[in-house]
Amino acid sequence: MQLSDEGKGIARYYKQLQSRELGQGFALALARHVLRQRYPDRFVSIVSADIVIRAGWQRGSSGYQYQPDFFAEVWKPGEPSWVIPMATKGNHGRGPSSSYRQLAACSAHVEAMHIGKWGQTPCLIFSTELSMEGPVTVHCLHAPGKSGWLNAFPEHPLRNLDSAAENKNIMPGIQPPSEGDETPDPEPGFHVQPRHYAWFHHVLARTATAGVAAFAGDGDTTARYLTTRQGSQRYTTGFAHPATGSVQDAAHELLDISFIGTDHVFKMNGKRVEAFSGVAEDLFSLLSPRDKNGKPNPGRVEQYRHEIYDRRGTWPEQMWDQKWGGPVSVHEDGTVLAMRLLPF
């Protein structure tokens, strides 16, 4: 892949933004692809690390300025999840040397999060090279590890995902192993101990679900899957999609599937473009505060995750919808992004 003419000619002060956002996009697409191939019997969800961390640690409490950018949750209904911290960067360098420096910087971000045993948390780090002349190149490093599994214990069983998540006040710091009779002082960072596995699994799943609702543009639904410290109150003043509120927004049938969500119109290369983002209507009905008849819906995250797990590999693979008049991309979590040109 290569940058478009507009991408090559973008103003200097936008390049940093372009590097970060395109770097994240390419990195997450590659992470999903690799993890799906390695674990075909599991589902891969990508979750913002910052939002998850807020639920367990007070902002700035770790004494460390670094943290992962994302968590990859590799999961299967009813079983423990495997969690991989990830860090991503991008650059417009003229060779791999810039990416090598960025990969070294990314290592500090993923090392800030330990799940389970000291030094055994797997991680993925990425640097995307957005060359102005050659192809886009993604540099990736994977550190293996035996930890990262959110196993259940008799005293800390996995929680029902339909119940609301709560904030924790976990002591900041990563605890190194004891040396004889001495326990070393904690290192700066975040450490998910076995007693927190069930809580962490719960928050990860609920946060991923909130991301699906946010993609559909429904603030009320997004808010119900976040804790107060994660910012749930920020979403309760927005609009709702037609199935859950009185404000009509957007609904489309794409590739013979009904989706509900929100749309935006913007200009690209001087042309008006409509972008629609949404969620399959039948899946969103499991998550929204009210059903089609207006009755209260408690939110069925467990059923939603079972549904998207069972539908793996069944979503349309074609990338163009003739009726819509543009490209359509359907993700395995039931979300869709569609674009088309609009007449002036």
For the chain, the residue count is 344
Full residue range of the structural domain in which residue 54 is found: 5-159+189-215
Residues 16 and 98 in one domain: yes
User: What are the tokens at 330?
Assistant: 């359907």
Decide if 73 is inside a domain. Answer: yes
Three-state DSSP at 286 gives: helix
Q: Which helix (H) or strand (E) holds 110?
A: helix 96-110
**Which pLDDT belongs to residue 6?**
64
State the DSSP string of 232-249: GGGGTTS---TTTSSS--
Residues 108 and 51 in one domain: yes
Highest mean pLDDT range out of 56-65, 180-189, 280-289?
Answer: 280-289
Decide if 226 is inside a domain. Answer: no
Residues 69 and 101 in one domain: yes
Give yes or no for a contact between 279 and 216, defined as CB atoms under 8 angstroms apart. yes
Residues 200 and 237 in one domain: no
Overall average pLDDT of the 52-78 stretch = 89
pLDDT tens-digit profile of 294-343? 777 788 999 999 999 999 999 998 899 999 999 999 999 999 999 999 98
pLDDT tens-digit profile of 96-117? 899 999 999 999 999 999 999 9
Q: How far apart are CA 132 and CA 7, in angstroms?
A: 8
Helix 301-310 to helix 197-215 angle (10° resolution) is: 80
Decide if 176 is inside a domain. Answer: no
Residues 58 and 202 in one domain: yes
Residues 95 and 239 in one domain: no
Residues 6+ apart with CB under 8 A from 254: 276, 321, 324, 328, 330, 336, 338
Decide if 171 is inside a domain. Answer: no
pLDDT tens-digit profile of 151-167? 999 999 999 999 999 99
Residues 131 and 101 in one domain: yes
Residues 116 and 197 in one domain: yes
Residues 114 and 200 in one domain: yes
Decide if 308 is inside a domain. Answer: yes
Decide if 172 is inside a domain. Answer: no
Residues 269 and 207 in one domain: no
Count of structural domains within the chain: 2
Of 144-148, 186-190, 235-239, 330-334, the one with minimum mean pLDDT is: 235-239
Residues 247 and 199 in one domain: no
Residues 197 and 317 in one domain: no
